[in-house]
């Protein structure tokens, strides 16, 4: 499913990222969060010089007009080393939304800076009372002449603290459910817009997640994306593509789990022989490799469908559920294969298990993905 161009991109990307984060990076403990951030800044700089932060975006907006598949390759390659993957670059969700629904003015103003790595974007749909049931949001954006006045609290915003721009979904017309939701691009620094503290998370600790507070924040109507009432449709459409991104993030974690398991099981000796000589270890590794291949094909197929403008929504959900479950199983087995050494921070593999968990939760939990898949079939 990969074109020659995609494969060449993968090779070049690997070699560039390897300069900053060599293979054995996984063996570093993740205590040094600041170090992760410094590293991801350096990687971002190198990638932006080659226009590889958003390779699938049009050339006029700072991309290379390449396939969507190349952004999936970027996500997997980054996540192999550092699980928030390309989330730290803050383009994955905001870019596709602006490209599909933004005005020329909005595209011109925001996309180039995002693709050049000069701005970081965030996507803010969830609220404390509305997670899976996202349309049950209560944040409001009430029209006031040429402006909207935004009030409410959002939570779980990836890059909330470090971002410059946030896509915010809010109710513009009450009482009509998801048809009353609209989407806005909100710049940091507006009066009444505050961020909460960074959440102390189980995994993906190299990206920040926080609450956002809006207290009578005035947003120009030029910052509304799409028509009034189109917000929920926009959110769902962005999430469809985003889910293939999460699947590829899970592939990166699962691949790292497999490679560490192979390496350690050949090195570690017990009862006078490498533990890899035991069939029970071999079967674990065989299962990991087999499931990883299946997950990768599913993810690539979803990306291929998207690249070929075919309906990919159910496949994106299948890829996300399956790849995230594979990553969770592979990383858990990887810790098991490392025995006690797998359970301590110094060895680094426990981080894979902690990082894998989020892929089953954000951008729609595994349960919600199954709802999407079943709906498409029934």
Ligand X SMILES: Cc1cc2nc3c(=O)[nH]c(=O)nc-3n(C[C@H](O)[C@H](O)[C@H](O)COP(=O)(O)OP(=O)(O)OC[C@H]3O[C@@H](n4cnc5c(N)ncnc54)[C@H](O)[C@@H]3O)c2cc1C
Q: Which residues are catalytic?
A: 363
Closer by beta carbon to ligand X, 53 or else 239: 239
Whose tokens are 């996500």? That residue is: 75
CB nearer to ligand X: pick between 77 and 158: 158
CB of 204 to ligand X, least distance (A): 6
Where helices occur in 202-278 by DSSP H, the ranges are 231-267
Nearer to ligand X, 201 or 301 (CB): 201
CA pseudo-torsion sign 307, 310, 311, 312: negative
CA dist., res. 286 & res. 299, Å (int):
20
Binding site for ligand X (CB under 6 A): 123-126, 131-132, 156-158, 201, 209, 358, 361-365, 367-368, 371
The minimum distance between CB 127 and ligand X, in angstroms, equals 8
Which C-beta is closer to ligand X: that of 106 or that of 124? 124
- DSSP for 107-140? IIIIIHHHHTTS--EEEE--BTTBSSSGGG---E
Q: At closest approach, how far in Å is the CB of 201 from ligand X? A: 6
**Both tokens assigned to 18:** 């390897």
* Residues forming a β-bridge with 158: 209
Residue 161 to residue 34: CA distance in whole angstroms: 14
Least Å from the CB of residue 324 to ligand X: 12
**Shortest reach from residue 166's CB to ligand X, in Å:** 9
Minimum CB distance to ligand X, residue 90 (Å): 10
**Cβ 350 vs Cβ 117: under 8 Å:** no
Name the residue nearer to ligand X (CB basis): 141 or 258: 141
Burial status of residue 279 (CB atoms within 10 A of its CB: 0-12, 13-18, 19 or more) = exposed
Nearest to ligand X by Cβ — which residue? 131
Rounded Cα distance between 217 and 238, Å, is 25
If the CB atoms of residues 63 and 364 are measured against ligand X, the closer one turns out to be 364
Q: Could you give the 3-state DSSP secondary structure of residue 69?
A: helix
| C-alpha to C-alpha distance for 54 and 70, rounded to whole angstroms | 9
Instruction: Write b or e for each residue in 348-368: b if 16 or more Cβ atoms lie within 10 A of its Cβ, otherwise e.
Output: bbbbbbbbbbbbbbbbbbbeb
CB atoms within 10 A of CB 16: 16
Q: Which tokens belong to 312?
A: 């990919």
Tokens at 371, concatenated: 């709802």
Residue closer to ligand X, measured from CB, 126 or 317:
126
Q: How far is the CB of 230 from ligand X (least distance, A)?
A: 17
The Cα–Cα gap between 256 and 26 comes to 8
131 in Cβ contact with 140 (< 8 Å) = no
Cβ atoms < 10 Å from Cβ of 370: 14
Structure tokens at 3: 């074109």
């Amino acid at each position: 499913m990969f074109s020659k161009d995609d494969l060449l991109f993968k090779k070049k990307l690997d070699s560039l990222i390897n300069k900053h984060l060599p293979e054995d990076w996984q063996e570093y403990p993740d205590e040094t969060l600041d170090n992760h951030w410094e590293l991801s800044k350096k990687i971002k700089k190198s990638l932006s010089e080659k226009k590889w932060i958003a390779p699938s975006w049009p050339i006029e907006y700072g991309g290379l007009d390449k396939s969507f598949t190349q952004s999936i390759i970027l996500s997997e390659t980054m996540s192999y080393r550092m699980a928030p993957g390309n989330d730290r670059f803050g383009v994955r969700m905001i870019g596709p939304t602006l490209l599909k629904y933004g005005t020329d003015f909005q595209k011109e103003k925001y996309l180039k800076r995002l693709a050049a790595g000069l701005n970081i974007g965030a996507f803010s749909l969830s609220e404390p009372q509305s997670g899976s049931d996202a349309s049950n949001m209560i944040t409001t954006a009430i029209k006031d002449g040429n402006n909207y006045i935004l009030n409410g609290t959002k939570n779980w915003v990836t890059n909330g603290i470090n971002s410059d721009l946030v896509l915010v979904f809010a109710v513009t017309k009450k009482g009509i459910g998801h048809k009353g939701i609209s989407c806005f691009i909100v710049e940091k620094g507006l009066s009444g817009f505050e961020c909460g503290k960074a959440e102390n998370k189980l995994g993906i600790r190299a990206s920040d997640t926080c609450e956002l507070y809006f207290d009578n924040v005035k947003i120009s109507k030029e910052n509304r994306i799409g028509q009034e009432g189109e917000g929920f449709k926009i959110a769902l459409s962005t999430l469809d593509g985003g889910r293939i991104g999460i699947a590829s993030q899970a592939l990166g974690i699962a691949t790292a789990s497999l490679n560490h398991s192979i390496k350690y099981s050949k090195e570690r000796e017990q009862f006078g022989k490498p533990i890899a000589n035991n069939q029970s270890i071999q079967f674990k590794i065989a299962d990991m490799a087999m499931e990883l291949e299946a997950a990768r094909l599913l993810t690539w197929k979803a990306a291929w469908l998207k690249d070929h403008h075919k309906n990919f929504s159910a496949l994106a959900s299948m890829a996300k559920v399956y790849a995230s479950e594979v990553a969770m199983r592979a990383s858990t087995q990887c810790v098991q294969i490392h025995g006690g050494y797998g359970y301590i921070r110094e060895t680094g593999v426990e981080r894979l298990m902690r990082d894998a968990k989020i892929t089953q939760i954000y951008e729609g939990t595994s349960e919600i993905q199954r709802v999407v898949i079943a709906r498409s079939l029934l």
